[in-house]
Amino acid sequence: MDGNLLSSGKILTKDGKLKTVSVKAGKRTYFFDEKETKNNDRFITITESRKMTDEKGNIVYDKHKIFLYKEDFENFVSGLLSIINSVSFQPVGEQTNPLVADENVGDAKAETE
């Protein structure tokens, strides 16, 4: 067998994942990993991995990861879809109000850089 058997009967991969979905986007790859805690609580990690070259010419990967827990799924997805819709359907040059938050996004507040 190519993984570890959990007490719940699920099989983990060598790196502790139940399932992985990867999305390639140019020099970036996004990994969506389903994982499980010792208490059988499932969560997701989302990792952005960028292929880069260091000062010695070696290939290295710059990674950024977030952990997303089940109790946050609904607000996260609502906020993500809200901002995707804003970016996707905004005419070039038109600005949106950065302080308006969708009432379905829980406690999320829009921020600007």
The answer as to whether 111 is a domain residue is: no
Instruction: Decide if pLDDT at 67 tops 80.
Output: yes
Return the pLDDT at 73: 95
CA quadruple 91, 102, 75, 99: dihedral positive or negative?
Answer: positive
Amino acid in position 11: I
The answer as to whether 59 is a domain residue is: yes
Q: Which domain holds residue 12?
A: 4-105
pTM of the model: 0.64
Residue range 7-62, pLDDT digits in tens: 555 666 666 788 999 999 988 999 999 999 888 899 999 999 999 999 999 999 99
Average pLDDT on 64-87 reads 94
The answer as to whether 20 is a domain residue is: yes
Which 8-state DSSP code applies to residue 103?
A: G
The answer as to whether 75 is a domain residue is: yes
Query: What CATH number has the domain bearing residue 78?
Result: 3.10.450.700
The answer as to whether 110 is a domain residue is: no
| C-alpha closest to that of 68 among 79, 54, 83 | 79
Total number of domains in the chain = 1
The answer as to whether 48 is a domain residue is: yes
